[in-house]
Amino acid sequence: MNINNNPSSDEIRRKRIKRQIIMISSLFCVLILVLGIISYNLASNMLREQLVFKCKSVALTVASVIASDSDGYKNFLQTMDMDSEYYNRTKDLMMNIKHANVDQVFYIYTEARVDNDSMMYIIGGEDPSSTMYTAPGVIDTLVAANREAYDKKVPTAGVNFEDTEYGTRLSAYAPIIHKDTGEFLGLVGADITKIQYNNVMNLILFETIAGILIVFIFFVLIVLLF
């Protein structure tokens, strides 16, 4: 008695369809992975641009407010009197602005150039009790962005994060111009930190990976059903 062990035409057709589904699913998963990587890189660049734009907007706003009392700021540059009414009023204002923008801006401060390679912090938006507080008169090294702002006396922003004594930062600057004389009085700086940036990018990365895994699991289930 002969037993026919050859697969039926239905089984052959089912296996062929399954192979096609596996091949299409694999290609689609690779496509999703590539699109996910591209989307992540685009999101990285867009986020950095948005944060820099926010920093520049805050710096311009603070520079405008300080310029409205140009004589008061110019006098403080000469006296550095931290007990003065001007200092306390301006300090409170900058702390409030920083608090209102804390998710996008980590540091807000004014500064004045000391020499070709260094600058001096004047008034900052940090609480004096904070470990991040910098007193007026502290010297720091110029970076590319504020060097350009000093040289050209125009708003500028960094392109990449730079390592500094105060952490890895990306900064934007706006000039402080005396409202009556046009004298250049220094800069307002607003910074984001690499930690802030990474926190948002980690969330985007998690969402991207989750989306890719969901698609992958979906196609695995389809293959198993066949």
Span of 66-70, 154-158, 164-168, 174-178 with lowest mean pLDDT: 164-168
Which range in 39-53, 105-119, 151-165 is most confidently predicted, on average pLDDT? 105-119
Q: Are 22 and 212 in contact (CB under 8 A)?
A: no
Please tell me the distance from the alpha carbon of residue 84 to that of residue 96, in angstroms, as a whole number: 19
Average pLDDT, the chain: 84
Spatial separation of the C-alpha atoms in residues 192 and 194, rounded to whole Å: 7
21 forms beta bridges with none
Q: What is the CATH number of domain 58-193?
A: 3.30.450.20
**pLDDT tens, 75-101?**
999 999 999 999 999 999 999 998 888
* Per-residue tokens: 47: 């986020």
Q: Is the pTM of this model over 0.85?
A: no
Residue 3 confidence class, pLDDT cut points 50, 70, 90: low
pLDDT tier, 16 (very low <50, low <70, confident <90, very high otherwise): confident
pLDDT for 31 equals 76
